[in-house]
Amino acid sequence: MRLGTAVLLPALRHPVVPAQQLANIDCGRDSWGGRRLSLGDYVPRTGHEWGAPCRRLTGEHSFVRMATLATLMALGLAFTDVLVDALMVENGKPLGLTGAFQSVQWGAITVASILVGELGGYLAEHRRLHAAFFIAACFPLVSFLMAALFVRAAPARKEREEFRITWRAIRKALAEREIWVVGGFIFFWTFSPSFGPALLYYQTDVLHFSQQFIGHLGALAAVAGVVGALIYAPLSRLVPLRRLINLSIGVGVVGTLAYLFYEGPVSALIIDVVFGCVGMTTQLAFLDLAAKSCPRHIEATFFALLMSIYNGGTQISQNIGGRLYDSFGYTPLVLISTAFTALAWVLVPMVRIDHIEAKAKRAEMPTI
């Protein structure tokens, strides 16, 4: 068995991705030598034996050790992500710029993903693993220097006083209806059965797209996503959030139905590019709602909680979408997903988005 070279570049990818890829492969005890894994054993060979130099680089690790290393990297990324989101919410909410800040944030993330894909592909093709890990190790250092030199925070209160204020804010937020309704609304929106993973099988097995063409579609959709992020920044300041949410649901319904016409390279190109752009603006509208609904003093904690709900709903959606695709096929899956997306309109009046936005605007300006 041979695995793709992407597995060899975990530092250039989200660490959970290679861990899941390895965990889902059952090669038996004998083929893994007592269930021990060497990354170098799975480098595609092109007339040369690449396993030995890769073993010197990566060494042999048990599955438990690989999972531990991947988990530690994931925890580091998650902790950093929470801190960045905390800066975004705490500074953007008083200024009314959570939408604009998230547009910049997600635009940068998407651009970085495109660059990492290109650079990772080049390094994998030329087997420059030392350079790959060295480059990946430099970026946390850059982030550390930027945080040390440019991030400024107000002087903290005494530890006991800060704990009391935080604990009171958490109890008050949990006792209110607002945060629970927003969390449920976000979960229902992301829970809509996704045909994302199923689409890959449809592209490969039914439409017979090449992996290279599928990769090009993904790259173009990512570029369109950057455009969508740039569009949302001014929209978030000009259009009320409730209207943006309603428009997002409507666009989601139309965009999902458009996949019924996903029948060849031309239609796939048009639909993926257009949906890549509008999909980003839709995502940012719901993330903006989450940011604006976070209570004061505990913005980072509750935004992380809402993002956990968002990500959890997405994962469940993909699982259910894959099962529906296996049971009913592509067209029924698209129709079911469209129906669930449209049902989100029914929940909009319960969320009181206008009240959340007005409350966010009344927040005090941060003291510097």
CA distance 88 to 99: 10
Amino acid at residue number 295:
P
pTM here is 0.71
**Token pair for 214:** 């599928």
Between β-strands 60-62 and 36-38, what pairing exists: parallel, antiparallel or unpaired?
antiparallel
Q: Which residues pair with 38 in a beta bridge?
A: 60
What domains can you pick out in the chain, each with its CATH number? 5-148 (no CATH), 155-361 (1.20.1250.20)
CA distance 243 to 241: 5
Predicted confidence at residue 43, as pLDDT, reads 40
Per-residue pLDDT of the chain (368 residues), as tens digits, is 344 433 334 444 444 444 444 444 444 444 434 444 444 433 444 444 444 444 444 455 567 777 787 778 777 777 777 777 777 777 777 777 788 888 888 888 888 777 777 777 677 667 777 787 788 778 778 878 887 787 776 665 566 776 777 778 778 778 788 888 999 999 998 888 777 778 888 888 899 988 778 878 888 888 899 999 999 988 888 889 899 999 999 998 998 999 999 999 999 999 999 988 988 999 899 988 988 888 877 777 788 888 888 888 888 888 888 888 888 989 999 999 999 999 999 999 999 888 888 887 776 544 44
By the 10 Å C-beta count (0-12 exposed, 13-18 middle, 19+ buried), 104 is classed as middle
CA distance 70 to 74: 6
Predicted confidence at residue 61, as pLDDT, reads 59
Query: 36 by DSSP, 3-state: which?
Result: strand
Amino acid at residue number 115:
L
Residues 6+ apart with CB under 8 A from 328: 336
CA distance 147 to 352: 36
- Tell me, what DSSP letter sits at residue 50? -
Predicted confidence at residue 268, as pLDDT, reads 92
Predicted confidence at residue 25, as pLDDT, reads 43
Residues 6+ apart with CB under 8 A from 314: 190, 194
CA distance 100 to 233: 4
CA distance 80 to 63: 26
Q: For residue 96, report the phi and psi dihedrals to the nearest 5 degrees.
A: 70, 30
Q: Which residues pair with 37 in a beta bridge?
A: 61
Residues 6+ apart with CB under 8 A from 16: 70, 74
